[in-house]
Amino acid sequence: MSVQKKTSPKRITTQVLQDMKVNGEKISMLTAYDFTMGGIIDKAGIEVILVGDSASNVMAGHETTLPITLDQMIYHASSVIRAVERALVVVDLPFGSYQGNSRAALDAAIRIMKESGGHAVKLEGGAEISESITRILSAGIPVMGHLGLTPQSIYKFGTYVVRAKEEQEAKQLMKDAKMLEELGCFAIVLEKIPAKLAKKVAQSVKIPVIGIGAGSGVDGQVLVLHDMLGLSKEFSPRFLRRYNNFYDQMIDSVSHYIKDVKAEDFPSEKEQY
């Protein structure tokens, strides 16, 4: 069922998101990594689809987001793009494709735009990647920033706990957010930081701020689709709201199928030629 919204443009653009912030209309964003899921959440009316490097965990079973490659991100993104008619599709630049070399960053972003048809890219980090962001933006590619808990730096952090609780890190995060805005990013994701700080950031910049584990005072929310659908039971952070329990439903369905096959109940007379 499609959700009735105040803003109902045919296609979501970065300008639409900006207008939503100005009008105080919250932005909804979810991840997708394939054609089927991308099509479903687009039909449901989601504004932004993130082809996240969380595909590394969710689709490939890796412990971190680090192993996923640019080719794999392009594969996932192009699958999603083929299904999407309305949402803005943002694609993560994978670890190693933009840190430390702005020319490589631009090449990676161009490959994503050309080969997948994605509409924008997302990069993790602040001042340390400003050169890469500037170069990508100069090619006319919209950039979404990502601050706070940045999973590609997990080996530096050593843990997935809440970031920027201390004053110094909070100040740096605020500085980075303002810098991302000045560089020309169209939006910023804030991951797992105190709600009070996230609200302050959202009030301090004019571009939309989308939170995950960053409280309700921001301009929109993002979750990993498989987590919010309850397709897995293992990941249970405090910020996650499960809207369904598809893990148990799938176990039930598959168990039922196995039982029917073994009992020669499936296929029935009507289900054969």
Residue numbers annotated as active site: 191
Rounded to whole angstroms, the Cα distance separating 159 from 49 reads: 27
CB of 53 to ligand KIV, least distance (A): 5
Does position 28 bind ligand KIV by CB under 6 A?
A: no
Q: Which is nearer to ligand KIV, 14 or 221 (CB)?
A: 221
DSSP letters along 111-178, please? HHHHHH--SEEE--BSGGGHHHHHHHHHTT--EEEEEES-GGGHHHH-S-SPP--SHHHHHHHHHHHH
Pairing of strands 143-148, 187-191: parallel
CB of 209 to ligand KIV, least distance (A): 12
CB of 6 to ligand KIV, least distance (A): 24
Q: Which is nearer to ligand KIV, 222 or 231 (CB)?
A: 222
Of 14, 28, 31, 132, the one binding ligand KIV (CB under 6 A) is 31
Query: What's the angle, vertex CA 144, arms to CA 243 and CA 230, rounded to 5?
Result: 15
Q: Which two structure tokens, joined as six digits, stand for 30? A: 């979810």
CA-based nearest residue to 10, from 89, 86, 78:
86
Residue given tokens 């199928």 in the structure block: 257
24: number of Cβ within 10 Å: 8
Number of residues assigned to the chain: 273
Of 42, 53, 176, 219, the one binding ligand KIV (CB under 6 A) is 53
User: Which residue number places its CB atom closest to ligand KIV?
Assistant: 52
CB of 51 to ligand KIV, least distance (A): 8
Q: Residue 55 is inside which H or E element, if any?
A: helix 55-58
Q: What are phi and psi of 184, to 5 degrees?
A: 120, 15
Stretch that binds ligand KIV, among 35-43, 52-60, 229-237, 252-260 (CB under 6 A): 52-60
Q: How many residues bind ligand KIV (CB under 6 A)?
A: 11
Considering only residues 154-183, where is the footprint of ligand KIV by CB under 6 A?
Answer: none
Of 16, 17, 33, 54, the one binding ligand KIV (CB under 6 A) is 54
CB of 41 to ligand KIV, least distance (A): 13
Give the SS3 label for residue 259: helix
Considering only residues 195-234, where is the footprint of ligand KIV by CB under 6 A?
Answer: 212, 222, 224
CB of 153 to ligand KIV, least distance (A): 12
Q: Which is nearer to ligand KIV, 31 or 79 (CB)?
A: 31
Does position 102 bind ligand KIV by CB under 6 A?
A: no
Q: What are phi and psi of 266, to 5 degrees?
A: -120, 130
Chain centre distance of CA 206: 21
Stretch that binds ligand KIV, among 8-16, 49-57, 80-88, 170-178 (CB under 6 A): 49-57
Could you list the residues that contact ligand KIV (CB under 6 A)? 31, 50, 52-54, 92, 189, 191, 212, 222, 224
